[in-house]
Structure 1
Amino acid sequence: MLSEFLQAHTVLAPVPFIPEIALWQAEEPIALWEATEAAGTSQPPPFWAFAWAGGQALARHILDDPDLVAGRSVLDLATGSGLVAVAAARAGASPVTANDIDPLSLAATEANAKANNVRVETVEADLLDSDEKYGVVLAGDVFYSREMTARVLPFLRRAAGRGSLVLVGDPGRAYLPEGLIKRATYEVPVSEALESVPVRSTTVWQLIP
């Protein structure tokens, strides 16, 4: 079962920059990735097992200013571990939808929501061609490749055009688009095994139509 795999390869621990939230996190990325591929099929990187800088900054921003999401429907796009979705639920958002295409990500999100006593709905699908409206759309660390940015950015701009508050967390990835509004910048502790540095300067940006 996915939940048993998660518990065998991760540890429930506070998030460095958001200690009021605990996540099931892995200590070593390569060993975990190898474990996900043990069945002999190629698997995506285990983004769900780590608190990435963009998600940490976005979660911190929401918890420090809960009026951004309180009482509003929220989509956490490419949720990974579910950190941002959990933070939104903690801040009073409802309903909160966590979306990803990786079933392990959504299993982690469900486990992390349970560990933090919040309700998060999960959707396993590619939503980037959809047009459902949410009060707030959140995306942490989605501009890490040219291909991902080309897919995600039109969706986020359409959401902003429909009146959604669209916030993204980004630690200076190479494909961060122009024309965004800076809301806040944080010095976020990160895994050196993933980022090659102990801290990433990470900004929360708002997309406008």
Structure 2
Amino acid sequence: MRDGRREGLTSDLPADGDAGPKRRRAFILAHTRLLTPPHVPEIRLHLADEATELWERTEEELQEIGLPPPFWAFAWAGGQALARYILDRPELVAGKRVLDFASGSGLVAIAAAKAGAATVVATEIDAFAIDAIALNAAENAVTVEVRHADVLAAPPSDADLLLAGDVFYEKPMSEAVIAWLDTAYRAGANVLIGDPGRSYLPRDRLQALADYRVEVTRALEDSEIKHTTVWRLAAPGA
């Protein structure tokens, strides 16, 4: 460590964590590189080359100033499966208003835009994710509206299609998410979910649409290949 920082890590983030967009984007560009997710080679994203290294840097550097771990820097299995499903079936999104919940890197939102959605909104509570999504959308020459907000605290979206990848890993979060998605579903929205079998996946409300074997990094998951399913939210007991 040198001057309170991991040696070799450059960061101009202010000590209070109030990083502006230029500083956040500089950090993203400095600690990621353009890669294609294994299951979605049509899309290029700014991703962490070494998951463990960036995670350690985030915990030791960024977390000290109150910032969350860099979920935006990885192409998670559920998102890869959902993006693949959409790109292979563009009729699902063509001309539709799409919302990608907890978008992370923006992978699923970008896939929806590429598949011909009329509008795409990507929501996130992490300011770094918001800037990563903007960078990734520009890299793929698509238009995605990025919304920095906790949408679970707001009325349900009026989107035609709601997308959610890898969101059922924590019980309180999962309960809030399924309640919010259910409200949108009851209002007429189609809801698709990508998930590799997270602990709190509400299987009793879901219909399986497609299965994939998605390559991931063992630094993030418990195996290098995750059996991942795309689900549709359905009525209780359907």
TM-score range with shorter-chain normalisation?
over 0.9
Amino acid at match of 2:94: A
1:122 aligns with 2:122: no
Q: Given that residues 29 and 46 in structure 1 are in contact (C-alpha distance below 8 angstroms), is that contact kept between their aligned partners in structure 2?
A: no
Q: How does 1:1-209 map to 2 (within 5 A)?
A: 1-36=23-58, 38=61, 40-129=64-153, 130-177=155-202, 178-209=204-235
Task: Report how many residues are paired.
Answer: 209
* Offset at residue 28 of structure 1 (A): 2.6
- Distance, in Å, in 1 between the alignment partners of 2:156 and 2:105 is 24
Amino acid at match of 2:107: L
Q: Given that residues 161 and 208 in structure 1 are in contact (C-alpha distance below 8 angstroms), is that contact kept between their aligned partners in structure 2?
A: no
- Distance, in Å, in 2 between the alignment partners of 1:123 and 1:109 is 10
Amino acid at match of 2:57: A
- Distance, in Å, in 1 between the alignment partners of 2:100 and 2:157 is 13
Q: Given that residues 217 and 224 in structure 2 are in contact (C-alpha distance below 8 angstroms), is that contact kept between their aligned partners in structure 1?
A: yes
* Offset at residue 34 of structure 1 (A): 4.0
* Offset at residue 150 of structure 1 (A): 1.2
Richer in strand (by share) = 1
* Offset at residue 43 of structure 1 (A): 2.2
- Distance, in Å, in 2 between the alignment partners of 1:198 and 1:84 is 21
- Distance, in Å, in 1 between the alignment partners of 2:109 and 2:53 is 26
SS of residue in 2 equivalent to 1:201:
strand
Amino acid at match of 2:36: P
- Distance, in Å, in 2 between the alignment partners of 1:179 and 1:148 is 16
Q: Alpha-carbon deviations, 1:100-152, whole Å to 9, x = none? A: 00000111100110110100000001001322310100000000111210110
- Distance, in Å, in 2 between the alignment partners of 1:175 and 1:44 is 21
Runs of 4+ in 1 over 6 A off after TM superposition: none
Q: Alpha-carbon deviations, 1:57-103, whole Å to 9, x = none? A: 00000000011111000000000000000000000012100000000
